[in-house]
Structure 1
Amino acid sequence: MHFPPRYPWSNFPPVSIHSPESAVKKHPLYNASKSGDPEAAFRLVSELVSPSVTKSLIDRYATELPILVSAHALESSGVNAIPAALAELLEEKTGFESDTDVVQTNVVSHTGASGIHRIAHQAMFTGTIIRNRNYLLVDDFVGQGGTLANLRGYILDKGGRVVAATVLTGKPYSATICLESQTLQRLRDKHGKNLESWWPDKFGHSLDCLTESEARYLEKIESFESIRYRIAQAEQS
């Protein structure tokens, strides 16, 4: 079985979020943008991108010369145009180079999905990565952060480096994508060695490669047996 690669987080910075979720999802151009209309998506992000967040990206990463790489997420209704539009706009405003070669290869249907569905259906990527170059991840939304984790893993696996991530919107608590040591310890304490040994066989990475939100979600589930059952059910849905 082929797994999307993942790596431990190593003090990865919080995801930079441009706009509140309500402003994005209630915007009249949102549905068209999610369904693949590039013109609608560019107008959407032009209205909602944050000048202060953009400036902070320039101030912090200009010396890193990162390449902007977007998730190009496949939705059941089409190719989500928002990540590419956000990367295009940020290229204009930051002067950072933008990648157009990396694409998602599978449909995961994460929009509106449950947490367990997101974990069971992992995004996978293909495309050329330049070894030893810095990358800045771009997506439309951060929820559990799994897509960003897998895109980061793909880039690292191909010899690139990932310095940060930015999204158009997401819940404020989801900005913390780097797994905190105390969260990992609570997850281990609750579900024991069963989860620790089963997880790499199932997903190809150890528990320390989970995002903070993924680990918190799994911690809330009552037992390891329930985690395994729910993932099996989600895989069949």
Structure 2
Amino acid sequence: MKFLSKIFGGGEAKRDDAALRAAFDRIQRILEDEDFQLEMVNPAIRDMLKTAPAYDKKPGGTGEFGYSETNPVPVNGPIGELAYLSRLEAGPGKRLMFHRLGSLDTLDVFEAVTFDGSQWFILYLDMYHSKRSKLAPEGLHFTSEVPQFSGFHTYCKGFPYDFIEMKGAEQSSDLSFAYIPISKVSRYLEERVFNRPLAHKAKLELLEPRLSRFIA
């Protein structure tokens, strides 16, 4: 998104209002517009996603919605995964940071933690749909804040302490300016509040050998 870099990069005393509005409109579409999110997907799977079934919950799914691989959250492609997870919170001020642990067949598996480090989750998403679910997993709901992205579709080795580094790696992508400001989480990163509970670690250990992982 080269034109955005010029607009937001500083160095010019005045910026073109029309270009600025266009930049914000594009960011808003990346965050909100499900059809536009599909247009950003690799053409190899874009047409398939556009014609894929859309529903809030898998028909016949079993187990806890979003927490079970037999009842994953349906979403619209990889950008849809970012948009969905970035909307979730466990309570006021407790939105989620997240990263993709890997995949189980056609499902993507994400690890997430609240901004304050108090709650950890493993979530299962199925990105092969044309729309994203309007339902939230038990114990979570959708934030009223601007849903800027707060996680990554790649594996983060130092999660979540490498959040700043990973966000920096997005600088050359179309998604860069759709991310939350570092100030939203810097306090908690500096205070080193993120410690995985033993039960959560046990789940990860059981899951790890089954995952296919592609590290960007």
TM-score bracket relative to the smaller structure:
under 0.3
The structure, 1 or 2, with the larger RCO (C-alpha pairs under 8 Å, 6+ apart) is 1
Q: TM-score, structure 2 length as denominator?
A: 0.27
Q: TM-score, structure 1 length as denominator?
A: 0.26
